[in-house]
Amino acid sequence: MIPRARIYFLVDTLEYLRRGGRIGGAAALVGTILQVKPILTFRDGRVDQFEKERTKRRALARIIELVRNESARGADAHLTVMHTGAQAEADAQTLAGELKAALGTDEVLLMSLVPAIVTHAGPGALAVGFFTPR
């Protein structure tokens, strides 16, 4: 299952990536001014940048597109939308609804991210986990 697992996530602010040393201060400043929202993923057990989008709306639309292109459909679509608590829960519910419609599935699990992840991602982070088809 590990080769089929995918997780894409985005952060609401670059501040926590800067504090964790994942990006520099200048990159965080410019990214904040330009409303850059990196889409991050896990590769070989490490967090890597997948793409960058301008604005949160575009980043969410891109994540939906990625999931639609890579995920199984219908009853085989096992999706989880994760969020960093009350601040992102409404966005997570909206994202889950859009993914249900796009993939024709009845269930998308919603869950809070664990504090260890929240420390690095910050408030407002969203993630989608799923499996690719066989």
**The pTM is what?**
0.87
Token pair of 113 as six digits: 């991210």
Percent pLDDT > 90 in the chain is: 44
**Separation of alpha carbons 68 and 98, rounded Å:** 10
Q: In the structure encoding, which two tokens stand for residue 82, read together? A: 């994760």
pLDDT tens, 66-103? 999 999 888 888 899 999 877 789 999 999 999 999 99
Contact call for residues 74 and 88 (beta carbons, < 8 A): no
Which segments of the chain have a pLDDT < 50?
Answer: none
DSSP 8-class letter at 45: T
